[in-house]
């Protein structure tokens, strides 16, 4: 298993964990289940830990694929920037989830606000997760690149839209 493969194995986890966490947290909010809310907080913390693994394997993946034909330095840079923002959001979500876990066990008054606050932060985090995932996919999957990137590739291959 090379660095690129290892990155592909772990990079989906920081995206999947918050999706699962939001579902569990919404169930906890709707059913007023403290156990469900606490489980969601734990899932968010696991997502933050998975972000560490994804970031740690990213540099090695970049070196593994940077000389492959069709791999763009700009696309890799865009992905790296998006991944760093998402990792920061994921870490923040993990920290406030730990806070939510603490407040739920200690019965602090702020405990009532934590689920809604955390679901909002998780929603923002998922936006950045989508951006990191999209930009990462664009590196090797030309079919998902934006119209401008596809048009540039078509122009470089001699194709024309003129009929």
Check if the beta carbon of residue 10 is closer than 8 Å to that of residue 51.
Answer: no
Question: Would residue 8 count as lying in a domain?
Answer: yes
* pLDDT, tens digit, 9 for 90 and up, residues 110-159: 888 999 999 999 999 999 999 998 888 888 777 777 664 444 444 444 44
Check if the beta carbon of residue 45 is closer than 8 Å to that of residue 97.
Answer: yes
* pLDDT, tens digit, 9 for 90 and up, residues 3-13: 788 888 888 99
More confident of the two residues 48 and 160? 48
Q: How many CB atoms lie within 10 A of CB 10?
A: 18
Question: Would residue 60 count as lying in a domain?
Answer: yes
Question: Would residue 139 count as lying in a domain?
Answer: yes
pLDDT score for 156: 47
Query: What range does the domain containing 72 cover?
Result: 3-156
The total of structural domains in the chain comes to 1
Alpha carbons 92 and 99: distance in angstroms, whole number: 11
* pLDDT, tens digit, 9 for 90 and up, residues 55-85: 998 888 887 877 777 777 888 888 899 999 9
Question: Would residue 131 count as lying in a domain?
Answer: yes
pLDDT score for 112: 85
Task: Report which of 22, 42, 28 is spatially closest to residue 125, judged by C-alpha positions.
Answer: 22
Question: Would residue 71 count as lying in a domain?
Answer: yes
Question: Would residue 126 count as lying in a domain?
Answer: yes
**What percent helix, strand, coil does the chain show, rounded to 5?**
85, 0, 15
Question: Would residue 24 count as lying in a domain?
Answer: yes
pLDDT score for 147: 60
Single pTM value for the model:
0.82
Check if the beta carbon of residue 122 is closer than 8 Å to that of residue 21.
Answer: yes
Q: Residues 6 or more apart from 28 whose CB is under 8 A from it?
A: 34, 35, 36, 37, 38, 39, 40, 115
Residue corresponding to tokens 């579902």:
23
pLDDT more than 70, % of the chain = 88
Question: Would residue 163 count as lying in a domain?
Answer: no
Q: What is the mean pLDDT of residues 38-62?
A: 93
More confident of the two residues 97 and 69? 97
């Amino acid at each position: 298993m090379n660095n690129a493969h290892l990155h592909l194995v772990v990079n989906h986890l920081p995206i999947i964990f918050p999706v699962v966490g939001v579902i569990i947290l919404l169930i906890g909010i709707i059913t007023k289940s403290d156990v469900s809310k606490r489980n969601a907080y734990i899932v968010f913390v696991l997502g933050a830990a998975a972000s560490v693994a994804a970031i740690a394997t990213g540099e090695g993946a970049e070196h593994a694929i940077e000389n492959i034909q069709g791999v763009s330095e700009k696309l890799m840079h865009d992905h790296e920037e998006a991944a760093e923002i998402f990792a920061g959001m994921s870490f923040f979500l993990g920290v406030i989830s730990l806070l939510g876990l603490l407040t739920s066990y200690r019965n602090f008054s702020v405990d009532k606000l934590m689920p809604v606050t955390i679901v909002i932060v998780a929603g923002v985090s998922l936006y950045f997760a989508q951006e990191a995932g999209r930009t990462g996919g664009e590196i090797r999957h030309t079919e998902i690149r934006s119209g401008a990137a596809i048009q540039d590739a078509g122009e470089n291959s001699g194709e024309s839209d003129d009929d």
